[in-house]
Structure 1
Amino acid sequence: MTRTKNWRDITLAAAGIMQATTLVDQLARTGFTPSDAYRCSINSLFQLNPVDTLSVYGGSVDDMRLGLEALRDLLTSSRQLQNNTVRYSAGVLHLQRRLSKRRDMLGVIASRLEQASAQAEHFDTTHDNVIANIADIYSATLSQFRFRIQVAGDPNFLQQQRVASQVRALLLAAIRSATLWRQLGGSRLQIIMQRKKLLGETEALLRQIRP
């Protein structure tokens, strides 16, 4: 793997985290998510043996616009952004690091995602039954840690079972991207030390998106 491709992949995985957490924020506040971005994030959970990083997100950057734009906003800010998306992303990285030390829990997640994948073949990856199954995977594993991501938003939406399940499914998708990001060599220090490099890759990927 060349250095250029490596930075591109790290950027894609970082955008995957930002996309899923941006969708969590939108859901919590409005009860709505853009369908293409939502499907892209959820589908990433079912890419269990991807041939490359881009294939995790559907083989094209077209449905990654939301995450790439959120990442660009983070990288171009003159100060550390303080918003829900950044807070959720930081929480995801914290949870993912804890999860990486729990091989038993990783095994449970992998096994149950395989079952959910089979279920999705009969329904659809974003069908309510499949999303409820993914949400239960999150509740049975990551929710068991003492640290939990506190999602802020409109109680009228957050109290709806559909929205609550979608939020948990998206948080699991963010964890999946965080795992990939770390496997590729991603680190928080890069946001400071390699900001220009990451921003260049982000803008290059955005230019590839069809208008």
Structure 2
Amino acid sequence: MSRSLHDQTLALAGVFQAATLVQQVAHQGQCAESSLETSVRSLFATEPDSTLAVYGDLKDLREGLAALVSVLSEQSRREDVDILRYGLNLIQLEARLKSQPDMLDVISSRIEQARHTARHFGYTHGNLIKNLASIYTDTISTFKLRIQVSGDPNKLQMEDNAARVRALLLAGIRSAVLWRQTGGRRWHLIFFRKRIVAKARELAEQANQSVYH
């Protein structure tokens, strides 16, 4: 796996795309189906040829790249605070998970079992989302550090939305694993922040150009 800034930024965009979608579901009860599919599909990319192959095309990471630029530089949107908190928590949870090989094995095994459902129904089908949500509940949710998702209580109490949030958090941790594998470290977010933002802006422009061609 490449350890370049390019690859680290892609993986970090994956983390923040999942965080953004969690924020949207928590407040609005919905998120873009295509972005949801990208995040969920990344869970099944176990032997990718490249970092980008985990997500598909660059355009599939547009929401994550935009969020990365916003939360690490501007923080001009009200939702940026929540998205940044979720993203940092996901990275922190992945660090805890790394020291739990038995739990990692359980997660990998259950994701593999869910692959048939994904192939049969698609990556955004309710059956798959609930399956992935249960994996998160049975494993990551048992850590003392838990991500407190804030939003509209009426939206969050809906079973489908709660399942989407948990499935997305699982996908966010998958991207945090990828970020670490490409050489990403938490201190990079402080000392290399400007470099990360510049690369994310560059990739976001490329993603937008690919959409309009």
What is the TM-score normalised by the length of structure 1?
A: 0.93
Shift of 1:194: 1.6
Match of 1:187 in 2: 185
Deviations 1:158-181 (A, max 9, x none): 011100000000000000000110
Match of 1:124 in 2: 122
Shift of 1:200: 2.2
Q: What is the distance in 1 between the residues matched to 2:75 and 2:175? A: 25
1:62 maps to 2:59: yes
* Aligned structure 1 segments of 4 or more residues deviating by more than 6 angstroms: none
Deviations 1:94-124 (A, max 9, x none): 1111100000000000000001111211211
Q: What is the distance in 2 between the residues matched to 1:78 and 1:29? A: 18
Match of 2:104 in 1: 106
Deviations 1:14-64 (A, max 9, x none): 100000000000000000101111111111011111111000001x11121
1:75 maps to 2:79: no
Match of 2:164 in 1: 166
> Could you tell me which amino acid in structure 2 is paired with residue 152 of structure 1?
S
The total of aligned residue pairs comes to 207
Shift of 1:76: 2.0
Q: What is the distance in 2 between the residues matched to 1:78 and 1:153? A: 18
In structure 1, the gaps of 5 or more residues are none
Of the structure 1 ranges 197-206 and 42-51, higher mean CA displacement relative to structure 2 is found in 197-206
- Mark the CA change 1:135 to 1:204 in structure 2 (over 3 Å): closer, same or farther: same
Match of 1:29 in 2: 27
Q: CA RMSD in A?
A: 1.7
SS at structure 2 position matched to 1:148 = coil
Q: Does structure 1 conserve the Cα–Cα contact (< 8 Å) formed by 2:155 and 2:161? A: yes
Q: Indicate which of 40, 46, 49 corresponds to 1:48.
A: 46
Shift of 1:190: 1.5
Q: What is the distance in 2 between the residues matched to 1:36 and 1:78? A: 25
Percent pairwise identity = 46
Shift of 1:2: 7.2
Of the structure 1 ranges 163-172 and 194-203, higher mean CA displacement relative to structure 2 is found in 194-203
